[in-house]
Structure 1
C-alpha cells in the first residue's frame, strides 16, 4: 500500500517540500507519495487532519498559516513544539496524533552547513521579527547562544515572544536594537528587513529564513560587505530530514536534494 504524506499550507504552490521529499522517496525506492495540500481556511485544514486521523495520510508537514492550529489539534506534542507554540509536523502513532517542530533543527543544520566557523557558545544572536518563525528561531538559538535579541517594529510583540519562550531556555532573551556585538543576525520577517549593515562586526553571519529568491536582498547586501551568509533553502532541507524519517520510517538517502531544489528555483547549483 502506498504511504501518503504531504505538506499543508496556504498559499502552497511555492513550496519546495514536495520536490525535496519526492527526491528522497525515489532514491529510497519507497512506495510512497508526498503531495502539497492547499486548504484555504482553518475549517478546510481541520478536514485534512480528519483524513490523517482516519489513516488516509500517515502524516503532514505544516506551514503557514496553520502551524499554531496543528499544535492545538495534536493529542501529544514534543517539548520543542510546545516551546515554539506551533508544530510543522503531524503524524499518527498508534492512534495518537503527535506534533513536533523541526524548524529549529533546520535552522541549526543550515548554520552548521554554511557557517561552520560561527562561534555560538557565549555569544549573542539577533532575530529580526516576532512572529511564529521568529519564535522557533529564538527557541533554537537560545539552546546554544548566551543571549538572543529580538528586533521588531512592534515592541509589544517582541515582549510577548520573550514571555512565551523565556521559560523554555536558559539564554537571556531581550528586546534590543543593538547589533554591533552580535555574532549572528537571522531574518525571520516575510519582507526585506530594515537594518544598517554598517553597524555589524565584519565577522557577523547573516541568515535569511526565506528562499525565494535564494539570495535575498538582505543576504546579497551582506555578502557584498564580506559577511558569511546562510540561505533559507539550507534550513528547509534541514527541517525536512527529521520530518522524512518520521513520516516514512527511514533516514533520508544521501542524494543531492539541494541541486534538485535549485533546478526548480531556476538557480545554478
Structure 2
C-alpha cells in the first residue's frame, strides 16, 4: 500500500494487475484495501482473469489508468522482455508500477515513459518488505 500510494493520486483509478502468481496476491490485497477496482491479466483466461490476448483486442489499457506488473518479465538479464500490451493506448494519465527493480527502468516502464506516463519500480516495495521483516524478527 505504501509503495502504491507514494507520490501518486489513486483517486478514481481502476487497475490492471499483470500476472497471477504470489506477488499479484499481495497487490490485489492492497488494491482491495484501497478500494481500487482491478482486473487480473494472465496468459490464459479463467474465472478470475482475462488473457493478454483479450487485452490486446480491447480497450483495457485505455480504460484502466493504473497498470501493475507482478510478473518477472524484464528482470535482469532478460531486460528486453515485457508484458504483451497495446502500449499505444498509454497516455500521460497512466501510472505504471513494475515490481521488478533491476533494471531500474524496465522495458515495460520505458513504454510508459515514452508516452508520458508516471512510473515507479519495485525498489521501495523491496525496502518496505525488508524493514517489516527486520521488525518482525528483531522486536
Task: Tell me the TM-score normalised to structure 2 length.
Answer: 0.78
Contact between 1:182 and 1:200, CA under 8 Å: does it hold in 2?
no
1:124-143 maps to which residues of 2 (within 5 A)?
124-143=14-33
CA distance in 2, matches of 1:146, 1:190: 23
- Secondary structure class of the residue paired with 1:185: strand
The aligned counterpart of 2:129 is 239
- Secondary structure class of the residue paired with 1:154: coil
1:187-202 maps to which residues of 2 (within 5 A)?
187-191=69-73, 192-202=82-92
Alpha-carbon deviation of 1:208? 0.6
Alpha-carbon deviation of 1:206? 0.2
Contact between 1:126 and 1:149, CA under 8 Å: does it hold in 2?
yes
Aligned residues: 124
Alpha-carbon deviation of 1:118? 2.2
The aligned counterpart of 1:182 is 64
Contact between 1:207 and 1:231, CA under 8 Å: does it hold in 2?
yes
Name the Cα RMSD after superposition.
Answer: 1.9
Alpha-carbon deviation of 1:117? 3.2
The aligned counterpart of 1:149 is 39
Contact between 1:118 and 1:183, CA under 8 Å: does it hold in 2?
no
The aligned counterpart of 1:97 is none
1:1-269 maps to which residues of 2 (within 5 A)?
108-113=1-6, 116-120=7-11, 122-156=12-46, 159=47, 162=48, 175=50, 177=55, 178-191=60-73, 192-249=82-139
Worse-matched range after superposition: 195-204 or 125-134: 195-204
Unpaired segments ≥5 residues, structure 2: 74-81
Contact between 1:110 and 1:234, CA under 8 Å: does it hold in 2?
yes
- Find the structure with the greater CA-based Rg: 1
